[in-house]
Amino acid sequence: MIKKLLILILCSTFLGTSYAAKNSSATKAKTHKKIKKKKTYSSSNKGDPILDAINTPATTTSKRRKPKPVTPVVSGGIPRQPKLISYAGYAVDLNTGEALVSKNASTQLSIASITKLMTAMVMLDSGADLDEYITIEEDDVDHLKNTFSRLRVGMQLRRRDLLLLALMSSENRAAHAIARTAYPGGINVFIQKMNAKAKALGMNNSQFYDPTGLTPRNKSTAIDLTKMVAAAYKYEAIREDTTTKGADVMLGRNYTHHYMNSDALVRTDKFQIEVSKTGFINEAGHCLVLYAVVDNRPIAMAFLNSVGKNGRLVDAMAVERYVDQMQ
């Protein structure tokens, strides 16, 4: 009897110890699970939400990965041309004429609001008074794409202010108004002069049908657009307006609106940009042209039909870094 009792006591002690150990192990695992934190990322660039989106790594819960600019390097440290996201792209050293990056560069595509650089040059060539007040008319309203504008019919602004809005913020009514009033004969004469200017610049694969870029019939190539941006650089007003980050414009007696530059690279000073213009319509995709200075080299870039708003920015940063690594 005593022997049986001892056996029961020993078994009970053993089972109790095992249960306590098991319970202690389970508790530790559970506690560890509680204090385990999910990885989070924060962008070091606080200047612009679009560039923040590009530079922030995607988490495992993200459904869509943000494109990140990458410049692959081969052995020996020699940089290789970046793979562009845009359907067509071209970068050229304007000092030497050397093509640095090229992808479908001779393909003719719609260029959207990149058109406004040509509009600005042709208007400035007219010698029109930049301080003259221009009235926004019904003819300036977009009935093709029905794009939104804060410039109401009947509103009056100086021609120089309309030029700024057309170049900095891609304002369509502003672009149409400065084109409509630049020459006797109105829009038809202005468009003729746009195509004549393109021909004079050697843009042999470009056609213009309106001054805003809302029509997909305005077409060019990445190579031709680098010629256009190089010509635009010679105009001080274009250099200043396309690189202005933002401006307050009085649109009424008690109403001032803050317009921003449509190019996130300009807004955040990513690198030295002297001329910039963005563009988008559905038929053209997202487009961008730049005149940039990289290691004291003037570089003209053009990117057409890019994927999403970020693709063209990624391409521009990749080309800038590629050129920088060439030195």
At which residue do the structure tokens 């993200």 appear?
62
pLDDT at 34: 27
Q: Which residues contact 237 (CB under 8 A, 6 or more apart)?
A: 120, 124, 130, 160, 163
Residue from 55, 81, 103, 48 nearest 302 by CA: 103
Q: How many C-beta atoms lie closer than 10 Å to residue 145's C-beta?
A: 13
Residue 309 is predicted with a pLDDT of 84
Residues β-bridged to residue 141: none
pLDDT at 327: 64
| pLDDT at residue 216 is higher than 80 | yes
pLDDT of 78 reads 61
Question: Which amino acids are annotated catalytic?
Answer: 113, 116, 170
Instruction: Return the axis-axis angle of helices 172-180 and 115-125, rounded to nearest 10°.
Output: 30
47-97: pLDDT as tens digits: 544 444 344 443 333 333 445 444 445 545 567 889 999 999 999 999 999
Entry field: residues in the chain:
327
pLDDT higher than threshold 70 for residue 156:
yes
Pick the CATH number of 88-326 from 3.40.50.2300, 3.40.710.10, 3.40.50.2020, 3.10.450.200: 3.40.710.10
Query: Which comes out higher in pLDDT, residue 187 or 16?
Result: 187
Of 69 and 175, the one with more pLDDT: 175
38 compared with 271, residue with greater pLDDT: 271
- The average confidence (pLDDT) of the chain is 82
Position 4 scores a pLDDT of 45
Per-residue pLDDT band at 109 (split at 50, 70, 90): very high
DSSP readout, 232-258? HTT-HHHHHHHT--EEEEEEETTEEEE
Q: Tell me which residue of 166, 178, 164, 160 sits closest to 116, measured CA to CA.
A: 166
Is 161's pLDDT higher than 80? yes
Domain boundaries, the chain: 88-326
Flag whether 309 is marked binding.
no
User: pLDDT by residue (tens digit) across 5-14?
Assistant: 444 444 444 4
Tens digit of each residue's pLDDT (9 = 90 or more) over 233-276: 999 999 999 999 999 988 888 889 999 999 999 998 889 999 99
Task: Give the containing element (helix H, strand E) for 13.
Answer: helix 2-35
Please indicate, yes or no, whether the overall pTM of this predicted structure exceeds 0.75.
yes
Q: For the residues 199-206, what does the mean pLDDT come to?
A: 98
